[in-house]
């Protein structure tokens, strides 16, 4: 399956006691994964106690921050520690995540069909059709990519906070790299309103929107380069079709 490539899963977690155990267990039991790095980003619930059960697993590497540093900072730490050729980012708040979904994310990458594969959780096709936020599918947290491709923007990623996925997409598009979306059927994310008090959840949603906008605005040159790359690609396709 892996075509000779080593794969590192990076799971960043902050207060996900309800779901993190099943997510980590699924990843560790998947033969395709060579190492699993879990970054406990200053959790104050029972996340640390739940993760203790995996400490004896040879594939399990654990880092715990004393305070919450933010998702992008934690992701960067995972990239720096990873030994794999391929990095697989997986959110810790998934329900219904299975080994088959890992294969969906990794196979198109290692067989040369894409440079980055993004997994979009959906419980079913009807939910996908009715989703008003489908244009944001590129910002899903589950993604597989080559470590060497992401190293040039590690420092930018570190400070991008909730805008990390936006930054990665802009960078890949600016480089003319291929991005593929895989629908992870049967997988759902816990909503912030299911994990936090309403006011806290609302604040975090607003912060997320602000960080995404900030990542776009502060990387305006990448946005222009991405548009240029898309135009060149479209022109090449038209020339090919006309011939």
Query: How far is it, in rounded angstroms, from Cα 142 to Cα 117?
Result: 8
The whole-number pLDDT of residue 219 equals: 72
Pairing of strands 94-95, 188-189: antiparallel
- pLDDT over 70 (residue 166): yes
**Average pLDDT for 21-37:** 97
- pLDDT over 50 (residue 28): yes
For 124, the 3-state DSSP assignment is coil
Residues 16, 92 contacting (CB under 8 angstroms): yes
Structural domains in the chain, CATH included, are: 7-242 (3.90.550.10)
pLDDT for 189-204, tens place per residue? 887 667 777 777 677 6
Picking from 127-131, 175-179, 224-228, 229-233, which range would have the lowest pLDDT averaged per residue? 127-131
**Cα distances (Å, whole numbers) of residue 67 to 22, 24, 29, 43, 120:** 24, 21, 29, 8, 29
Query: How far is it, in rounded angstroms, from Cα 95 to Cα 18?
Result: 9
**How would residue 162 be classed by pLDDT, with cut points 50, 70 and 90?**
confident
Give the global pTM.
Answer: 0.85
State what percent of residues in the chain have pLDDT above 70: 79
pLDDT for 44-81, tens place per residue? 999 999 999 999 999 999 999 999 999 999 999 999 99
- Of the two residues 154 and 228, the one the predictor is more confident about is 154
Residue for token pair 């993190």: 20
**How would residue 232 be classed by pLDDT, with cut points 50, 70 and 90?**
low
- Of the two residues 238 and 143, the one the predictor is more confident about is 143
**How would residue 132 be classed by pLDDT, with cut points 50, 70 and 90?**
very low
Burial of 146 (0-12, 13-18, 19+ CB in 10 A): middle
pLDDT for 115-126, tens place per residue? 999 999 886 655
Residue spans of alpha helices (H) in 69-163? 71-81, 99-110, 125-130, 147-150, 154-158
- Of the two residues 165 and 241, the one the predictor is more confident about is 165
Find the length of the chain: 243
The whole-number pLDDT of residue 137 equals: 74
DSSP 142-210: EEEEEHHHHGGGHHHHHT-GGGHHHHHHHHHHHTT--EEEEEEET-EEPPHHHHS-HHHHHHHHHHHHH
């Amino acid at each position: 399956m892996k075509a000779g490539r080593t794969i590192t899963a990076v799971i960043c977690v902050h207060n996900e006691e309800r779901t993190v155990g099943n997510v980590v267990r699924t990843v560790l039991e998947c033969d395709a994964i060579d190492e699993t790095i879990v970054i406990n980003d200053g959790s104050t619930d029972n996340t640390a106690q739940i993760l203790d059960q995996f400490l004896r697993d040879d594939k399990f590497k654990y880092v715990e921050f004393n305070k919450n540093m933010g998702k992008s900072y934690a992701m960067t730490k995972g990239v720096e520690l990873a030994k794999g050729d391929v990095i697989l980012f997986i959110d810790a708040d998934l329900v219904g995540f299975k080994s088959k979904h890992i294969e969906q994310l990794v196979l198109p990458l290692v067989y040369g069909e894409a440079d980055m594969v993004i997994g979009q959780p959906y419980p079913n096709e009807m939910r996908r059709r009715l989703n008003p936020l489908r244009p944001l599918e590129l910002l899903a947290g589950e993604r597989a990519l080559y470590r060497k491709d992401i190293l040039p923007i590690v420092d930018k990623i570190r400070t991008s906070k909730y805008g990390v996925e936006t930054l990665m997409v802009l960078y890949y598009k600016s480089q003319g790299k291929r991005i593929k979306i895989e629908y992870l059927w049967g997988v759902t994310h816990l909503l912030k309103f299911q994990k936090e008090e309403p006011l806290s959840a609302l604040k975090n949603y607003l912060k997320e929107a602000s960080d995404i906008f900030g990542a776009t605005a502060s990387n305006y040159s990448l946005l222009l380069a991405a548009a240029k790359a898309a135009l060149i690609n479209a022109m090449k396709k038209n020339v090919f079709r006309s011939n």
